[in-house]
Amino acid sequence: MSDSTVTAVSAGSFARNAALADYFALLKPRVMSLVVFTGVVGMVLAPGELHPVLAFAALLCIAVGAGGSGAINMWFDRDIDAQMSRTRERPIPAGRIMPGTALSFGIWLSIGSVALMALAVNWLAAILLAFTICFYVFVYTMWLKRKTPQNIVIGGAAGALPPVIGWAAVAGEIGLASLVLFIIIFMWTPPHFWALALVRADEYKQAGVPMLPVVVGAEATRRYIFWYSIALVSFTFAPVVIGLSGVIYGIGAALLGAIFVTLAVLIRRRRSNACARRLFSFSILYLFLIFVLLAVDHMSWSSTFLGS
């Protein structure tokens, strides 16, 4: 094989890989991974059992549904993404994927995920998944994001529903405990995103997105972050109150909450983007560890109970 042939084959392979990477990027994989993880914890905590194959199917549906709605979000927000340094290299504004292609990709993934959930798992989980996708696309992306500084507060409901979907997939119902999981993520979302918005306020303003710092200013946003952080940490003790978790989770939630609130206090006192970045980064780890503790505490309690 000649050198030119090898070069051509290599170039063709690179192009195919780049295309696959771009389609994968449309799914917002970082967001998807957190969505899937909280869905897994919802399934672990739910009463009842689900066959491993069906459990995998449920998680696949949650992942694909999240990815599909993410692709539609990127299609609709392509004008905003092109103006912000954080997003201008996404596949659509960078010109690597056509907008119509991304929209079709997102729609078919969304429809397929709901259909599979209904056929393989149960109708309640499918309805919740469909509602989550529609809420994220039509309510948050197409309406709230460009209209009100409360976009993150209200729109956060979409990101808070995956553990409820996971719970419903196993239990076939929506229990009080699943709603507690919903509230924890719902209260976590505003301080998490507002911390990022503080850092990116100028870009959001240029793009015409009414994020809280753009509308009410940085100082008021810092106060909102602080009070939402207090509310969030308070709600993380709800699993202990309702008997969903015990000592392991309670101690861990208290320690993590103390760090979260401390970082929120530093944002108010020091008024620096560095503090906002630290809270934003820690908030991702915080939510992950809160849900890890819920799962570990539950499995520890189950093992103790079954072994007694």
211: exposed, middle or buried (Cβ count in 10 Å: 0-12, 13-18, 19+): buried
- pLDDT of 304 > 80? The answer is no
In a domain, 16, yes or no: no
Average pLDDT over residues 57-71: 97
pLDDT, tens digit (0-9, with 9 covering 90-100), for 154-171: 999 999 999 999 999 999
In a domain, 3, yes or no: no
Q: Which of 124, 154, 174 is the last residue of a domain?
A: 174
Distances from the Cα of 183 to the Cαs of 34, 163, 241, in angstroms? 16, 11, 14
137 and 268, same domain (yes or no) = no
64 and 120, same domain (yes or no) = yes
In a domain, 291, yes or no: yes
pLDDT confidence of residue 299: 82
pLDDT, tens digit (0-9, with 9 covering 90-100), for 177-234: 999 999 999 999 999 999 999 999 999 999 999 999 999 999 999 999 999 999 999 9
In a domain, 19, yes or no: no
How many folded domains does the chain comprise? 2
pLDDT confidence of residue 270: 86
Mean confidence (pLDDT) of the chain: 91
271: left (phi over 0), alpha (psi -120 to 50) or beta: left
In a domain, 17, yes or no: no
CB 46 within 8 A of CB 173: no
273: exposed, middle or buried (Cβ count in 10 Å: 0-12, 13-18, 19+): middle
pLDDT, tens digit (0-9, with 9 covering 90-100), for 217-276: 999 999 999 999 999 999 999 999 999 999 999 999 999 999 999 999 999 998 889 999
Amino acid identity for residue 270 in this structure = R
- pLDDT of 8 > 70? The answer is no
Residue span of the structural domain in which 125 resides: 25-174
In a domain, 274, yes or no: yes
Total length of the chain: 308
In a domain, 116, yes or no: yes
Q: What is the CATH number of the domain that holds 247?
A: 1.20.120
Q: How many CB atoms lie within 10 A of CB 157?
A: 18
Q: How many CB atoms lie within 10 A of CB 172?
A: 16
243 and 256, same domain (yes or no) = yes
1: exposed, middle or buried (Cβ count in 10 Å: 0-12, 13-18, 19+): exposed
Amino acid identity for residue 197 in this structure = A
37 and 150, same domain (yes or no) = yes
197 and 122, same domain (yes or no) = no
Distances from the Cα of 10 to the Cαs of 4, 16, 21, in angstroms? 10, 10, 16
d(CA 128, CA 296): 26
Query: What angle is formed at CA 71 by the lines to CA 64 and CA 136, rounded to 5 degrees?
Result: 80
Closest CA to 205 of 213, 223, 273, 125: 213
28: left (phi over 0), alpha (psi -120 to 50) or beta: left
pLDDT tier, 29 (very low <50, low <70, confident <90, very high otherwise): very high
In a domain, 77, yes or no: yes
Diameter of the chain measured on Cα atoms: 71
186 and 169, same domain (yes or no) = no
Closest CA to 113 of 66, 173, 149, 172: 66
- pLDDT of 17 > 80? The answer is no
